[in-house]
Amino acid sequence: MQARGPLMIEHRLIERMISVIQDMLARVEKVQSIDPLFVDKVVDFIRIYADLTHHGKEEDILFRDLNGKDLSDEDRRVMNELVEEHVFGRKTTKALVEANTRYRNGGASALGEVIGCLRTLVDFYPKHIKKEDKIFFPAARAYFSEAEDQAMLAEFWEFDRKMIHEKYSLVVSSLER
Ligand SMILES: [Fe+2]
Ligand SMILES: [Fe+2]
């Protein structure tokens, strides 16, 4: 498998979650209420899977190694854009958590903000994924030898291996607070 393999497989699961959110949004807009626990699950998925596990491998391994290469102006521009989009995703998720907390505490008016953040995520992720799958990953592959690509793949597996421990150490830390 090429190093981009696991990243593209992860994209497919993120897309499935985006569809779930889309379906939920259609219902939420009809009934004008949302289950805050559903939003918690979305947030957990985005934070732990899409951000920590997936963007983590992109930024800490793929983009790090690309930074050591003589990237074309265009490829560097796209990479910077992708990093900015990850930041945007984090900000949107933070806003979603805050709106969901207000909503859960009885602030019915926060529903609009919860919906707005979910819409933003649903709108943003498919474009981001398409840019990586169709444009950036193929361009990035050209900078690496087969050995370098396989070394990244090995590092991806190691990164994932640690993730379950990181996730539950975060859970315990948050409960200790
Ligand atoms: Fe990304
Ligand atoms: Fe990605």
Q: What are phi and psi of 162, to 5 degrees?
A: -80, -15
Query: How far, in Å, is the centroid of ligand 1 from the Cα of 1?
Result: 19
Query: How far, in Å, is the centroid of ligand 2 from the Cα of 146?
Result: 21
pLDDT band for position 103 (50/70/90)?
very high
For 36-81, how does the pLDDT look when each residue is reduced to its tens digit (9 = 90+)?
999 999 999 999 999 999 999 999 999 999 999 999 999 999 999 9
What SS3 state is found at 78? helix
pLDDT band for position 169 (50/70/90)?
very high
- Three-class DSSP labels, 89-106: HHHHHHHHHHHHHHHHCC
For 107-159, how does the pLDDT look when each residue is reduced to its tens digit (9 = 90+)?
989 999 999 999 999 999 999 999 999 999 999 999 999 999 999 999 999 99
The environment of the single-atom ion ligand 2, i.e. residues with CB closer than 5 A, is 132
Query: How far, in Å, is the centroid of ligand 2 from the Cα of 130?
Result: 9
**Packing angle, helices 36-44 and 73-104, rounded to 10:** 150
Query: How far, in Å, is the centroid of ligand 1 from the Cα of 105?
Result: 33
Write the burial class of residue 142 (CB in 10 Å: 0-12 exposed, 13-18 middle, 19+ buried): exposed
Query: How far, in Å, is the centroid of ligand 1 from the Cα of 107?
Result: 33
What does the block give as tokens for 121?
Answer: 């995520």
Closest CA to 49 of 59, 57, 61: 57
